[in-house]
Every structure is written in structure tokens, then in C-alpha cells.
Structure 1
């Protein structure tokens, strides 16, 4: 029987992490609940129904309190990570839906491309170029602002000071290198990759220049993308897109 396949959707890796952390939180709830029931049972038995005594009940209660405190601390930390993943998932889906509107005969959009211990949020393969896109989701109600001087990204604080974001550009560099190498290995084609960071709900001061990196919000990216000239023919685009499609293919019958 011929297997059926689908391509990965936006935020698929984050969704898996969210399920993992939801299960971890559930584990932290179950252990205190279990020892709570044991403690209550032991106290009941210590009243003379069976051979259990107050010492046994006290020990069970201490163990229960230990697990409650331990679980509370772990749940607090897990919830913080879970909220971060949910925020990231929301951002990837928002950008994914925006990028999907660009899809057509000469533009292919792919999501959640898996690498080694990381994933690339989005890729556009188009006659206008190949774009590797990393998304960062910020609350638009807080009016986040960033400054990009060409070599470093800074977050502008309310007091006017700049806080450096040293990890963003190396992250984009690594993802772009990974995709460039995969295209060369799979399609035997060498070509440049445009490195993009979409900072959702933010304003980026970059003097309107897009050189080695594109740092834009989701609305500005669409505008700049559509303004690019077509540099590749459809045959080359189809060849590259077919290879990327193999990277995001999932066997639904497996």
C-alpha cells in the first residue's frame, strides 16, 4: 500500500514541546496527590482501625509536604517555560499564516524544518530568492523597539538605553548555513540564502537598509519581499522546493 504524506505545519516542534511540558506538570500534580491520599489513609488507620499508628501517619504527612513544596517549585518553573513555548507557537502560527498568503506558482512556503537540536521556523523558496526566517514574538501592546546597526541587535529600553541581543544573529547564521548546506547536498546547487528575523509586534530601527540580515516585523517583511526582483527561474525554484519538501515530509501512515 502506498503511504500518504503531509508536510510539517508552523510550530509543530513547539506543539510537541508544549505537550511534553503539560505532561511534566501533570506528573508534578499526581505525586503530591498520591501521597496526600496515603497520608489521609494512614491517619485514618492510626485511629485504631488497623495496626498503623501516629508515627506512620506523621511520616506520610511529612513526605506529602515535601512533595507538595517540591512540586510547587517545579510547576512554577515548568509553567514559565510552557508559557514561553505557547507564546512562540502563537508567533510562528501568526507569521506562518502571513507567509502562506505569499504562496503561488513561483513561491513555496515551508514551516518547522528540523535540524540537529534546533528547527528553522520558516523557509520561502521563490524566484525572488531563498529566505530562512526566524520568528520572535513580542507583545505588541508593550511597543517593543529594537535597533540594528548592521552587526548587533539592541533592544531599546524605556530609559533610552540599549540592551544587546547577542544570540539572535548567530542563531540566524546557523540556520542559514544549515539550509544552504542541505540544498547543496540534496540538489547539488550552491546559492545564497537571505537571513531574516521577523520580530512580531515590534518596531525596528534599521535606517531602511537590508543587507546581510533582514530584521523586520511581519507587515514590513511582506512589503519588502514583494519589492524584490525575480532572480531565479521556475525550474530552479521547483528543484529546490522539492528537496525542502522532502525535509518536512511526515508519513501519516507510519
Structure 2
């Protein structure tokens, strides 16, 4: 037994040192992926769910063991108290798990929505546009930013579940009058306000960064829905598959090549902040490439 443990320890020690003699091939941080922030939230939430489930499974056994131990050593123990404590912990963990799972469902819907929109926007790169995802702001993230001859667009993704009826056409239709979004069973205005605020922040930041005024057009993208405009005005609200038509309707060239390059340089610096997991493992968290700038 001792020899087996010693052999395993020596093997692991050799493996560790063989890895330490290597270094990661990645010298730069990576660009942010679609839904980068939500992906981390989902990972953290899954960890919380695991802890809550373990609490439900382990805590009753711990309390039972404590109760039996007290009896074994002849100490008085109140079984009612033990049961109440056990049920309280179990109930708390159960409620917490249900709430976490519900939150996770919203996170995953949002994440899938950002992936769906990103895949449509990435097609624009074939036409010479630059597309960035999950652009960090101050306390928030802009889902997507598109830069090209037609201008700068801040795209806010809103993934919404559809109701199930016999009329699938009306189930997937949202009406937009320039001020509010009218879904089959509810009305939204917050999405439009959020897109406006994020577009304004991006315009201010880019203008300051490049030293010239940069206009940003906020856009709300709703994947899987047909958007029916009932009035003019307001920020564009589209199905992401319609983005090419939005660019064509934007008029002539709004940005020249020099300004596009200056804007892209700033966005590149801001979005290239995802570290390599391989570099962190091989070189340690203090390695320059293994940390966020």
C-alpha cells in the first residue's frame, strides 16, 4: 500500500515537472466571445447549485451522525431539535436550488440569444465590417458592436420566449411603434432605453478615445421574432437576420478607412482581455499573459 502511494506520488511529481518545462504558445490574450459575461455567470451559478444539492444530501447525514454520537457517549440529545434543524437546512437548500435553476434558465436563454445574434453579425465580416462581442463598459456589457463604412452600431440582444398557441404566426410577431415593443402578451420599453444608454456611453467613450466625435447607432436585435413596425422613429429593432438591410438603409459612407482603423484599435484593446487557461496552468496566474489587463 505504502509503495503504491509512493509510486503515484513520484509519477505525479515527474509529470508536474515535465509540464513546468513547457510554456504556452499563446502570447496574446484572446478577444471576448459572444456571451462571455453570461458564460461566467452560468459557471458560477452551476457551482452554487452543486453546493446547494450537496448540502441537501450531506447535512442530514451529518446531523444524524452527531445525534448517534451523542447517544453513544451517553449525552442527552433532543431528537425533535435535530429533526427541525435538518428540515430547516434541507428546506433552505431546496428553495435556493429552485431559485438558482430558475435564474440559470434566464441566463441560458440570454446566452443562446447572444450566440444566435453573433452568428448572424459575424457574416458581416465578409463585407469588410468589424464585429466585437460582449464589449465591457462601466458596470455593464454591450452585447455586440459593429464597425464599418456605414458607421458604428451598438447591438443589444433580447432573447424572449414565445407563447404556444395554434397561431404560430402571431406567436412570433412583435409590433414596434418607435416607443415600445408590443409582444403577444406583454409590452416592453426597458430594452429600448437600455440600448439608447449603451449607445450613448459607447459614443462618448469612442469620441474621447479617438479625439473626434463618433456617432453610435443603438440597435435592438430580437432573434426568432418577426418585427412589425407600426410607426417611424426610434432606434432600429430588428431580427438579426435583417442586419444587412439595416446597413444598406443607413445611406452613404459614414466612416472612412482611417477612422474605422482608429475605432477598431480602441475596441481591440478593450475586448482583448480573455486570458489563456493553458498559460495560467503552465506559467502561473502571475504570468503576464495569464492575467487580465
- Normalising by the residue count of structure 1, what TM-score does the alignment of the two structures yield? 0.87
More helix by share: 2
Pick from 18, 29, 33: which aligns with 2:53? Answer: 29
Pick from 68, 87, 107: which aligns with 1:44? Answer: 68
Whether 1:98 and 2:99 are equivalent positions in the alignment is: no
Which structure 2 residue ranges, 5 or more long, are not aligned? 1-25, 165-170, 276-288
Per mean C-alpha deviation after superposition, the further-off stretch among 121-130 and 74-83 is 74-83
Q: Is the 8 A contact 1:124 1:131 kept in 2?
A: yes
Q: How many residues align?
A: 246
| Equivalent residues in 2 for 1:114-153, closer than 5 Å | 114-139=136-161, 142=164, 143-153=171-181
Q: What's the Cα RMSD here?
A: 2.4
CA distance in 2, matches of 1:246, 1:215: 29
SS in 2 for 1:137: coil
Q: Is the 8 A contact 1:136 1:200 kept in 2?
A: yes
| Equivalent residues in 2 for 1:1-254, closer than 5 Å | 3-45=27-69, 48-55=71-78, 57-104=79-126, 106-139=128-161, 142=164, 143-157=171-185, 163-207=186-230, 211-226=233-248, 228=250, 229-250=252-273, 252=275, 253=289, 254=291
CA distance in 2, matches of 1:251, 1:152: 36
CA distance in 2, matches of 1:154, 1:233: 38
SS in 1 for 2:189: coil
SS in 2 for 1:79: helix
CA distance in 2, matches of 1:38, 1:59: 14
Shift of 1:119: 0.7
Alpha-carbon spacing, 1:189–1:106, altered in 2? closer, same or farther (3 Å)? farther
Which structure 1 residue ranges, 5 or more long, are not aligned? 158-162
- 1:110-169 Cα distance to aligned partner (Å, 9 max, x none): 000111221100000011111100011134685332221122222233xxxxx3312111
Aligned match of 2:285: none
- Normalising by the residue count of structure 2, what TM-score does the alignment of the two structures yield? 0.76
CA distance in 2, matches of 1:226, 1:7: 28
- 1:174-233 Cα distance to aligned partner (Å, 9 max, x none): 100110011011111213211110111112111485x44110112122333355443322
More strand by share: 1
CA distance in 2, matches of 1:38, 1:52: 17
| Structure 1 runs of 4+ with >4 Å offset | none
Alpha-carbon spacing, 1:165–1:28, altered in 2? closer, same or farther (3 Å)? same
Per mean C-alpha deviation after superposition, the further-off stretch among 94-103 and 138-147 is 138-147
CA distance in 1, matches of 2:255, 2:138: 29
Q: Is the 8 A contact 2:175 2:230 kept in 1?
A: no
